[in-house]
Structure 1
């Protein structure tokens, strides 16, 4: 029944926060556990370390729904003009409610503020929802740029072009 699901959608707000806060650490832990189980590996950390975002032109973004932490993402420098999106995660109860889009929008805003002209990211083949999201918000496929796992889906978004269009 369509009307039965008309609950009030939470207000989502995404902003940069301390990667070592209790909320940030818990979100990272949940994501790593989910990826480890999904890909049947011991470490679902995907090569991310908190110090990756504890430097200039980097950030860790936490999304909150009515004040509660529900997702995260990271902005990590690759070079002077390109940064990488890492650690994108939304708690399962909050998926398909705009959390990931809010995180990406804040990461893109920060990237522009920090002077980047493009963003890149990689995701795995067992995350088709993530691939669809990235394509829907303007990321396009590129060759793998890090690691040696051939099944990775890599994407790029040119921020200057996106800003000009917007």
Structure 2
């Protein structure tokens, strides 16, 4: 397994070409995985165009290889959305780099905890979240069945 030490994760415009490509790839993958017509999970670019929100893109040698975002839930809580790694770059540290930057920014923005939800057909994501310190909580939004919700205290 190659771990890239040159992964750069940082805030970018959610409406940029690279951001939109990553969001579209994730939405298409989730639509196929869960056999639904819309894999956006309710995410809209406007969700991260508010104060104390951000869209993060991970790059290797300038090439976009993953993304993630945080959007406010409350004064003290923020939600992770649109976590995605391009398939050829999975298990190489990309998602961890994105989460680390998201968590750093969440602390900078003054949040006390970070929450997220993922589906049952994403065991690799669940394993990653648990490995980096997220713990299970009750579902906090949506009406999906078998959703896994997590939180990490900052």
Give the TM-score of the pair, scaled to structure 2: 0.97
Q: Does the Cα contact within 8 Å between 2:3 and 2:92 map onto a contact in 1?
A: no
1:73 aligned to 68, 76, 84, which one? 68
> In the alignment, what sits opposite 2:29?
34
Is the aligned partner of 1:109 residue 2:107? no
Q: Does the Cα contact within 8 Å between 2:4 and 2:93 map onto a contact in 1?
A: no
Q: Select the structure that is richer in helix.
A: 1
> Could you tell me how far apart the structure 1 residues matched to 2:75 and 2:31 are?
32
Q: Does the Cα contact within 8 Å between 1:122 and 1:155 map onto a contact in 2?
A: yes
Structure 1 portions without partners, runs of 5+: 160-166
> Could you tell me how far apart the structure 1 residues matched to 2:3 and 2:82 are?
28
Count of residues in correspondence between the two structures: 154
1:87 aligned to 82, 90, 100, which one? 82
C-alpha distance after superposition, 1:32-76 (max 9, x if no partner): 000000000000000100000001000000000111000000010
The 3 A distance-change label for structure 1 pair 60 and 8 is: closer
> In the alignment, what sits opposite 2:142?
147
> Could you tell me how far apart the structure 2 residues matched to 1:149 and 1:67 are?
36
Is the aligned partner of 1:46 residue 2:28? no
Is the aligned partner of 1:20 residue 2:15? yes
> In the alignment, what sits opposite 1:58?
53
The 3 A distance-change label for structure 1 pair 129 and 138 is: same
Q: Does the Cα contact within 8 Å between 1:140 and 1:156 map onto a contact in 2?
A: yes
Give the TM-score of the pair, scaled to structure 1: 0.90
Runs in 1 of length 4+ with deviation above 4 angstroms?
none
